[in-house]
Amino acid sequence: MRVLVIGSGGREHALVWKLLQGSQVDTVFVAPGNGGTAGEKGAVNVPVAVDDLDGLVDLARREHVDLVVPGPELPLTLGITDRMAEAGIACFGPDTHCARLEGSKAFAKKLMERAKVPTARCAVFHDAKAAAAHIRTAGAPVVIKADGLAAGKGVVIAQTEEDALHAIEDIMTSRSFGAAGDTVVVEELLEGEEVSLLCLCDGTHALPLPSAQDHKRVFDNDRGPNTGGMGAYSPAPVLPDADLERLADITVRPILRVLAEDGHPFVGVLYAGLMMTPDGPRVLEYNVRFGDPECQPLLMRLEGDLPALMLDAVHGRLPAGTLPHSSRTAVGVVMAAEGYPGSYAKGMTIKGIDTANALPDVKVFHSGTKLKDGALLSSGGRVLCVTALGRDLAEAQARAYDAVKTISMPQSFYRHDIGAKGIRRLSGR
C-alpha cells in the first residue's frame, strides 16, 4: 500500500511514523514533509505545497497512491478530499462542506444548535455596529471570535467592555484577519479545564481516541500569548477512558448525524475542543483533523493498524468497539525557537536527537526542521516535539524532559510544566 501524507509539521511526522508501521504499507510520500520525515525509512518527501491541490492530485496519481492523509486544515477547507474523490483516490478527511466546521465558527455554532450539542451561548454578527451595540448591552467578560481561519489568533477573551469593543474594531473594521473577520461570533465566557476529544469517523460511526490535553499558551503556568500548542499528553485525567463514549455521544455523534442528514457524511478525524465546566462539558470549537501536538502522544499510544483503520473509515466501515491503545501515558514537549509565536530565528543547528531517540520509549517528532548538507537545521517556530511513554503521567513526563535535555539547539525554549495540570488533578490538589 502506498500512502500520501500532506503537511510538514510534528503531527505529520507522527502520522508518517505510525502509517509506516501498518502491515500493508511499503511507501509513505510526504508533501512537503520535513527533516524528520526525510529520515524515516520508507518515507519520501516530495516538494509539493499543502495548498497546491492540482500538484497533490498529480502526485497521488503519478505514484499510484492508495490512501491520502491530509494533516492540516488548509487543504481540507480548500477541498482536497473532493478533488481526490473525483480522481477516485481514497482520502481520509472531510469534504469541503464538513471542513467548514473548522473553517467557519458561525457554521459550527449553527450546526451545534441544530444537533443540540452543549456550547457557549452566542450571537453572530456581520456588521461592526450591531456587534458593538450587542456588547454594550450584554457587557463583559465576553469572547470575540473571528469567523474564519486566523492561524489560532482570531479569539479574544475580553475582560472589559472596552477590550471587547476594541476587538470588534480590530477584527471587523481594521480587518486584521482579512475576510476571516467579516463575520464575528460573540459568546459567553466559560470557566473550567480544557480537554481534547478526537474521534475517527466513517460518516456514521465515531470511534473515540483516548483524551488529550494541549498547552496553548507559550509560557509556563499558562502565561503569554496563544500558540499552536507547546505540548500535550494523553490521557488527560479530566477526561478518563470511562467517560469517552458518553462524551462522544454528547459532542461528536450528534454532529455526524446532522451532517449525514445534509448529505455530507463526515469522514476523518473530528476533534472536539471541550471545556469541562461545573455545569458539564461544553464544545469550544471543532477541528476537522488531528491536533498538533495532540497527535504525537495519541499516536504513541495507538496500537491498531492506522492505515487499515483510515481506509475502513473512508469506506464507511469502521469496526465497532473501542480503538486498541496502550494503557501507558504519553507526554510530548515542544521545543520552539525563541520569539515564537512572534517572529523567530531559523537555521539553528540541532544536535542530540539520536541520543534522545535511543532512550527507552522516546520518539522525537520534528515540527519545523530541514536537512541541509547533512546537518539538521530549524526551519519553523515549533521545531521538535519530544514524546515519551511511561507507566503513568509522572514517569512519561520525566522521560520526556530527560530526552529534551539531551538535545541542544541555540535560541530555543520549551515549557517546563507539560502534564503538570494532570499531575495536580491526580494528586487531588
Q: Kind and range of the H or E element at 365? A: strand 362-366
Residue 18 touches which member of ligand AMP, ligand GLY, none, C-beta under 5-8 Å by kind = none
Grid coordinates belonging to 110: 449553527
The contact pattern for ligand AMP, residues 43-82, with x = CB under 6 A and - = no contact, is: ----------------------------------------
DSSP 201-243: EEES-EEEPPPBEE--EEEGGGEEEE-S-SEEEES-TTS-GGG
Residue 40: name its binding partner from ligand AMP, ligand GLY, none (Cβ under 5 to 8 Å by kind): none
Number of residues that bind ligand AMP (CB under 6 A): 14
Instruction: DSSP for 148-181, please give it.
Output: S--TT--EEEESSHHHHHHHHIIIIIS-TTGGGG
Specify the residue, 294 or 312, whose C-beta has the smaller distance to ligand GLY: 294
**Binding marks (x or -) toward ligand AMP, 124..153, rule CB under 6 A?**
-------------------x-x--------
Under a CB-based contact definition with an 8 Å cutoff, are residues 214 and 254 in contact?
Answer: no
Place of cell 498529480: 58
CA dihedral 300, 317, 100, 254 (to 10 degrees): -100
Q: H or E stretch including 398?
A: helix 393-405
Three-class DSSP category at 184: strand
By the rule CB under 6 A, 214 interacts with ligand GLY: yes
Task: Retrieve residue 106's grid coordinates.
Answer: 458561525
Under rule CB under 6 A, residue 294 binds ligand AMP: no
Among 229, 231, 265, 381, indicate the residue that binds ligand GLY (CB under 6 A): 229
With CB cut-offs between 5 and 8 Å by kind, which of ligand AMP, ligand GLY, none does residue 14 bind? none
Among 235, 273, 281, 341, which residue sits at the site for ligand AMP (rule: CB under 6 A)? 273
Q: Taking CB under 6 A as the rule, does residue 292 contact ligand GLY?
A: yes
Residue 291 partner contact from ligand AMP, ligand GLY, none using kind-dependent CB cut-offs of 5 to 8 Å = ligand GLY
Residue nearest to ligand AMP (CB): 285
Cβ nearer to ligand AMP, comparing 179 with 189: 189
User: Taking CB under 6 A as the criterion, which residues in 18-77 touch ligand GLY?
Assistant: none
Whether the Cβ atoms of residue 60 and residue 4 lie closer than 8 Å to each other = yes
Give the Cα separation of 330 and 233 in Å (integer): 5
Mask of contacts with ligand AMP, 194-233, x by CB under 6 A? x---------------------x-----------------
H/E/C letters for each residue in 407-421?
A: CECCCEECCCCCCHH
Q: Shortest Cβ distance from residue 385 to ligand GLY (Å)?
A: 11
Q: Tell me the backbone φ, ψ of residue 370, rounded to 5 degrees.
A: -145, 155
**Could you say whether residue 276 binds ligand AMP (CB under 6 A)?**
no
Q: Whose CA is closest to 232, among 4, 381, 10, 60? A: 10
Residues 415 and 229: their CA atoms lie apart, in Å, by 10
Could you say whether residue 294 binds ligand GLY (CB under 6 A)? yes
Instruction: Please count the CA atoms within 13 angstroms of the CA of 353 that sit on its side-chain side.
Output: 22
Among residues 78, 111, 120, 244, the one that binds ligand AMP under rule CB under 6 A: 120
DSSP string, 244-299: HHHHHHHHTHHHHHHHHHTT--EEEEEEEEEEEETTEEEEEEEESS--TTTHHHHH
Which region, judged by CB under 6 A, interacts with ligand AMP, from 128-136, 184-192, 240-248, 355-363?
A: 184-192
Q: Which does residue 202 bind out of ligand GLY, ligand AMP, none, counting CB within 5 to 8 angstroms by kind?
A: none
Helix (H, G, I), strand (E, B) or coil at 119: strand
Shortest Å distance, C-beta 320 to ligand AMP: 30
Give me the count of residues in the chain.
429
C-alpha cell belonging to residue 232: 500535550
User: Out of 187, 202, 292, 417, which residue is the one contacting ligand AMP (CB under 6 A)?
Assistant: 187
Binding segment (CB under 6 A) for ligand AMP, from list 37-45, 181-189, 311-319, 327-335? 181-189
269 binds ligand AMP (CB under 6 A): no
When asked if residue 417 is in the footprint of ligand GLY (CB under 6 A), the reply is: no
Binding to ligand GLY by residue 287, rule CB under 6 A?
Answer: yes
Q: Which of 291, 332, 368, 380 binds ligand GLY (CB under 6 A)?
A: 291
The distance of closest approach from Cβ of residue 285 to ligand AMP in the complex, given in angstroms and rounded to an integer, is: 3
List interacting residues with ligand AMP (CB under 6 A). 120, 143, 145, 155, 157, 187-190, 194, 216, 273, 284-285
List interacting residues with ligand GLY (CB under 6 A). 214, 228-229, 287, 291-292, 294
